[in-house]
Amino acid sequence: MSLNYAIFRSEPIYTLSDLAQIGSHNKREKKSYNSNPDIKLELTKDNIQLVPLNEKYVKGFYELTKEYKKEHDERMKHERADRKRTFKQMLDKSKNVVADELLFTATHTFFENMSKEDIKKWADTCMEFVYNDLGYTKDQVLHAVVHMDEKTPHIHCVVVPLIKKYDERCKKEKYTISKKAYIKDKIHLSELQDKYHKRLTDKGFDLERGIKNSDNEHINIKEYKKITRKLNQKLDVRNEKLESAISDLDNKMKTNKETLFDKEYVKIKKDTFDSMNKVISESKKIMEIQPALKKVYNEVDTYTQSYQYLQKENDNIKKEVKYLRNRNEKLKQENKKLISYLKAIFQAIKQFFRHLLIIGNKDVQKATNEEIKGYYDNKDFDSNDIYDIAKDTDSEKDLFDYADISYYNQMNMEYDKDDFSL
């Protein structure tokens, strides 16, 4: 009989952009899931909302932290100009988290033959741990959901560790977001995992405590090697397809070079737009791999640390650990280069659309507007991208209204215009 392990992790979220991405995943808002074999969209209706959130994560975050924002805005009125920061700028550039994602699950076999009601009881016990052992209030939980549409049921619980802390400098309490107020360090995390395990077993759940000082899902080294090998192969295939799409787009642009821009109109062939769409599509497929890559990086790091501690005298294990570290580092470097490459591609595409809006006649501008809106609807562009493309063009009002730019301005979500120039 195989043992089933209780698994609890804490993943810090450092920026509002990261929070938005996590929200899209947790709430199943991405169209890309149609091609993700790990998520069965027909089962998404069975996901259990433990703490529902009917709006976007960032909007929910602003609602939860509105008093903190009010306090910050008031303080900025008295700051000198070079030290003024919007609420968003302050959050994103600070070393503190904006939120913390608590992940709860167990070995896959634990959930075999469990009814949805039984899984709900397990999930409620996990939330009791959040409230009674970690110490969060219900008002601090942004969203919590049990994903039933993947192989192993698991909980994503996103909390905002908003507290009031006494500031010695100004001699009064001030709002801040501090994960350390709830999880102080690795030693404290280990103690919390003991409490988590005890709470589950006290409720009758037959689960083992995970390995001390190891925050992984007990995947053995052979399985890690298999995972990293498959990710490398998948990354290579995606990279080749992306390079092919880019090459095709380059050829189309060269063909159009002589007639692309004119004093009175812009002539764009349909197959050029099609090629551009293919570049976008292949780029998105590569970005879909990023969560899996990040997971492997974290898993390998924690797993090897645990194995070195427990099996430090075992030469064979040491060789396997060394292999994993080297493999993992290679994957990190390749991924880093690829992300930089993709950013450059998207920047070029944004510049291309902006040229069309500036130089094109009314028909071209209208067609370009519709194309941009399509990318926005598909989440290829966000509001920042719309701002960069449409600012100070004839299409500004139309596209700003479409992307609800005014809402973001109200939230002080300013954009860095230095990052986009023609």
Query: Contact 268/256 with Cβ under 8 angstroms?
Result: yes
Instruction: Report the chain's C-alpha Rg in angstroms.
Output: 25
What CA–CA distance (Å, rounded) separates 190 from 210?
Answer: 10
Q: What is the pLDDT of residue 66?
A: 94
CA separation (Å) from 260 to 32, 254, 267, 344? 32, 9, 5, 22
Structure tokens at 387: 């701002």
Q: How many CA atoms lie within 13 A of 295 on its CB side?
A: 14
Q: What is the pLDDT of residue 210?
A: 62
Q: Per residue, what are the HEC states of 151-189? A: CCCEEEEEECCEEEEEECCCCEEEEEECHHHCCCCHHHH
Q: What is the pLDDT of residue 292?
A: 64
Structure tokens at 292: 């899996």
H helix intervals, 43-109: 57-64, 66-76, 87-93
Q: Which residues of the chain have pLDDT under 70?
A: 1-3, 31-37, 210-232, 234, 249-250, 252-273, 276, 282, 284-321, 406-422
Q: What is the pLDDT of residue 331?
A: 81
Q: What is the pLDDT of residue 413?
A: 41
Q: What is the pLDDT of residue 310?
A: 45
Question: What's at 420, amino acid-wise?
Answer: F
Structure tokens at 398: 């139309």
Question: What's at 220, amino acid-wise?
Answer: N
Three-state SS for 284? helix
Angle of CA points 144, 146, 147, to nearest 5°:
125
Q: Which residues of 39-76 are buried (b: 16+ CB within 10 A; e: fewer)?
A: beeeeeeebbebeebeeebbebbbebbeebbebbeeee
Q: Give the chain's domains with CATH numbers.
A: 6-202 (3.30.930.30), 221-419 (no CATH)
Identify any residues that bridge with 106 across adjacent strands, giving them in sequence order.
6
Tell me the torsion sign for CA atoms 373, 379, 381, 386. Answer: positive
What CA–CA distance (Å, rounded) separates 373 from 388?
Answer: 14
What CA–CA distance (Å, rounded) separates 18 from 333?
Answer: 21
Instruction: Return left, alpha or beta for 28; rule: phi > 0 is left, psi -120 to 50 is alpha, else beta.
Output: left
Question: What's at 292, amino acid-wise?
Answer: A
What CA–CA distance (Å, rounded) separates 304 from 71?
Answer: 44
pTM of the model: 0.51
Three-state SS for 5? strand
CA separation (Å) from 307 to 2, 216, 318? 20, 11, 8
CA separation (Å) from 68 to 90, 99, 160, 183? 12, 14, 12, 21
What CA–CA distance (Å, rounded) separates 375 from 378?
Answer: 5
Tell which residue, 29, 50, 53, has the closest CA to residue 41: 29
Determine the length of the chain.
422
CA separation (Å) from 270 to 256, 259, 262, 267, 274? 11, 14, 18, 10, 6
pLDDT tens-digit map of 368-398: 888 888 888 888 888 888 988 988 898 888 8
